[in-house]
Amino acid sequence: MSSSIDAILSPEQVAYRDRLRGLVDKHILPRCAELDESMTVPWDILQMLSRESVLGVVIPQKYGGLGKRNDGRDLDAIPVCLSREQLMRGSCNVDTLFAMQGLGTYAIIAGGSEELKQTVLPPVAAGTKLAAYALTEPEGGSDVVGMETTAVKSGDGFVINGRKTFISNAGIAATYVVVAKTDPSKGAKGLSAFVVDGDTPGLSATEPFDMLAPHIIGAVTFKDCYVPVSRLLGTVGEGFRLAMASLDIYRASVGAAAVGLGQAALEESVSRALARKQFGQAIGEFQAIQFKIADMATQVEAARMMVYRAAKLRDMGMTPIAREASMAKLFATEVAARCVDEAVQIWGGLGVCKGVRVERLFRQARALRIYEGTSEIQRLIIGRAVLREARKAAGQ
């Protein structure tokens, strides 16, 4: 399957995307209703993704994955985006599992000791253990610096106290990357990141939240939770930097997931337009439906180009790419929302019936504009960057 982004992909990346699309069509799409309404982990799918070298794109080669760059950097963003686009096209929950294996380990790759990497990363690449990323708090979502979880030095380690919320894989993850305050007086420089095993005394998780689109997500509480200093990522005070580095690659990948969801909505719309007949002809023969499909196809393709432009810039070593990643995430997630709304309209009454895929897509699309930075936060990042560049150009 060719695409306008093929010009910026390597032949290996094109082959990977096409192979993954085939795997999704064979193994995931036929089970998408089961996978997306379930609150259990599809271990068979996760391990299939490991065998087929999909999970490997989020883990460096040295630790059981495939990530290997000539310039010595950690991972490429484009394979992560290709993976999320195709997996989301098949199943939202499978995409979430994949994303968390990456987001929950990236700070370890960037700041963990060699021993920690050798311990934690291979089981994640093999799909036998799950990772989680504990950043968001009840009163500290977009305001990362305002978090209340603390990590206080105690002997040869730290004692963590606090509560994280909306944590994917809560209660089932083998390891959590946790960001906490080690020095409240230093703002962003007073945050540190730690790896905490899921069975550590003092760590507990709630039952999964009852979400609009079901998946395993809940709250995690830390009560006098002791972690040795060997579980510190980087140095004390580097937590904010590691958190932002994770977003550099994974924020753009949320845009890729949104492209996949928009593509699924488009495909469902085309299928319905060809199959449903009204007034003696397929509804796809009506100009009103053709215009809807034309707008969907155009917007999905535009979002795809923005996402892979951001990923390409990141892989070329251009940093920071916060503006480009935010633009991609903002535009693609808004496009996904519009596309699924039009898909429901094309499906008519069936489009709001449980069990019909476009109804599930409608529910799944909503969270994309919230997690890993709301649309409002993305606009704030973009606006500040544009004004900063204007002041620089004016010599101010």
Nearest to 237 by CA among 289, 280, 299, 194: 194
* Contact indicator for 307, 252 with CB cutoff of 8 Å: yes
Please give the helix or strand (H or E) that residue 385 lies within, else none.
helix 375-393
E-only strand ranges, 229-290: 232-233, 277-278, 281-282
Nearest to 196 by CA among 70, 305, 107: 107
* Contacts for 78 with CB less than 8 Å, ≥ 6 apart: 9, 13, 308, 311, 312, 315
- The tokens of 104 are what? 């929950």
Collapsed DSSP state (helix, strand, coil) of residue 118: helix
- What are 157's strand-pairing partners? 154, 228
* Contact indicator for 310, 330 with CB cutoff of 8 Å: no
Q: Give the Cα separation of 144 and 334 in Å (integer).
A: 24
Q: Is 234 left (phi over 0), alpha (psi -120 to 50) or beta?
A: left
Q: Which amino acid is at 376?
A: E
Q: Give the Cα separation of 78 and 314 in Å (integer).
A: 9
Neighbours of 304 (CB within 10 A): 25
Instruction: Please pick, among 52, 342, 372, 376, the residue that the annotation labels catalytic.
Output: 372
Among this protein's residues, is 372 annotated catalytic? yes
* Contact indicator for 190, 117 with CB cutoff of 8 Å: no
Catalytic annotation, residues: 372
